[in-house]
A and B are shown apart, each in its own frame.
Chain A
């Protein structure tokens, strides 16, 4: 029984091996294969055509390659492994790839040419491949540019990042130059997919696409509105354009200062001193409900007038009176008080240096004490003097 199984296996093995080659069983012969036997070429350019030489179940032998019907002035080279070749030898059930490099002269006339590639063995093996090459008159569209999100919304401080897909729809590798045209003072930079390097051009293989990011930074003081940016890609005369849009919404920005910019003042112990603060908005949208607050040393009093400002328009200024009363037990010297303005999501603060001074009342008391001492002396002179 065991012997029988071994015999069966021996018989079956070659059949399994033949199937493993992937060829239809029973198909025998020599074939020349190419993807597109009828192609368009352009005058003055070089086109590469890949041809596969396939040997299905024949004895391997050298096959001489030859070309027929090459028009006048055209140059067609047969390359194998990068070198010009004259013949190929293909193993049983195997392929060899040969590249035909077709150089079309610049002055080639439009029209079709038939070129026949043949492979001939020493005995009976022979195969031919007719190729139809048409010289095109019109340059086909070669680049494409697409964006999934061509319109973004943000504030003047946000970065607008558009992901663009650049496609090379032509038959050869291209280095694509990138450029963007926006309103004045808009900065745009290109980066590759997930890279961080700024780029100005990107190589794309034939038929491939690549993702490119363009980041547009509007100037800080830009007004609210829609701004178009024209993104252009160009390579060897082919261009593609795409218009992306920045929807800039305004944003308020608060600043806190004083009228003359001086952030220091004097205050006497126990007495209210008033300073004028200026709340300004140098943003692009109004800031609503600005609330004033402040931090002062312990036991000091602070009051704002007004406490809340309803709205500060862009490029507008509002005066706020702040009254600071140092504590009764405060010690003379310099102190820090910080004032804050809080709008909706916007805030500004300013540190104010307050020099606390003491009352001169006690100085007068001291002079009074000296005067009393002098009076005592004068009394002594009046009582005992001039002896």
Chain B
């Protein structure tokens, strides 16, 4: 009965101060500086080389600004989006791996909670603060790339290119949110910051290195004894794609492909009968591209919410001692 009485008022009381404090702490921390430097160096290298390529070669693609993001320069072997696919999780883990357990270790959690602030607001504030920091970093990076493109290419981006670029930014933030939620989940579970960092990084490495091979091995198990028709093959391919899509990185790269390469018609296998009569290379309208990647975006956002909900439930059930 006492607990029930405690559950009164808005759970968001105190969300503002927590968010602001977390946001300012992140932005002024040395860790943030290091992470930003890391991201800019990793992002600037592919962008600079792809801009060099775009300047010297005539690209028949009409979406030249989007090519800055997706072009894979020969010298680097990695495009800007592929670099982001790799870097955003690292940045999110770096921001979130010690958000809760460091407060435990510094014994400041009970002090904060003695204020009229619910745990709901504390966790949500920490999450939103991290997400805002991530968004600031990504927006800055995005603007740098766009500005460099404007200066070096000398052509302004078209409206649809800006729209696609902005959607790409939102998808990147959502992708960062998933990894931030995972990092916060581990920081709630483990009292030791080192353990939570290790676990979060372990999940990241698992999805990036181990999962593609594991999915391939699982697919062999799913495969029927012999493939007789095209339909069998397509079904098998869909299963393989479904397994791969359990990794947030796959969802992110597919969503980016649909957004930044407008000529992408499908993210799954395409039958020859479906290609007949198609005008290849014709870009999809923006709304159609959005519809194409909508499942991926949905998966990222829903995954972020579900992981955060798990962290929330665990955090609420924990005992906080003074």
Contacts and interface: CB of A to CB of B under 8 A. Distances in A.
Interface in A280-314: 295-300
Given A297-B277, A336-B277, A331 B8 contact: no
Interface in A135-193: none
A299 B272 CA distance: 12
A385 B316 contact: yes
Interface in B297-322: 297-298, 301-302, 305-306, 308-309, 312-313, 316-317
Contacts of B273: 298-299
A386 B8 contact: yes
Contact of B291 (A327, A332, A335, A373): A332
Contact of B309 (A333, A367, A373): A373
Nearest to B266: A331
A294 to B, nearest CB: 11
A376 B266 contact: no
Contacts of A336: 277-279
Contacts of A198: none
B276 A297 contact: yes
Given A373-B309, A381-B11, A329 B271 contact: yes
Interface string A319-349: 0000000010111111111000000000000
Interface string A362-374: 1100110110111
A353 B279 CA distance: 9
Given A380-B312, A384-B316, A335 B277 contact: yes
B229 to A, nearest CB: 15
Contact of A366 (B8, B294, B306): B294
Nearest to A296: B277
B52 interface: no
Given A353-B279, A366-B298, A377 B309 contact: yes
B36 interface: no
A334 B278 contact: yes
A349 B273 CA distance: 24
A336 to B, nearest CB: 5
A97 interface: no
A371 to B, nearest CB: 9
Given A355-B285, A380-B309, A370 B7 contact: no
A298 B277 contact: yes
A387 interface: yes
B277 A333 contact: no
Interface in B36-94: none
A335 B312 contact: no
B265 interface: yes
Interface of B: 6-9, 11, 118-120, 265-266, 270-271, 273-274, 276-279, 282, 284-285, 287-288, 290-292, 294-295, 297-298, 301-302, 305-306, 308-309, 312-313, 316-317
7 closest Cβ pairs, A-B complex: A297-B277, A366-B298, A384-B316, A334-B282, A373-B305, A373-B302, A334-B279
15 contacts: A331-B270, A332-B291, A333-B284, A335-B277, A357-B291, A358-B291, A363-B290, A369-B302, A372-B302, A377-B305, A381-B312, A384-B316, A385-B118, A386-B7, A386-B120
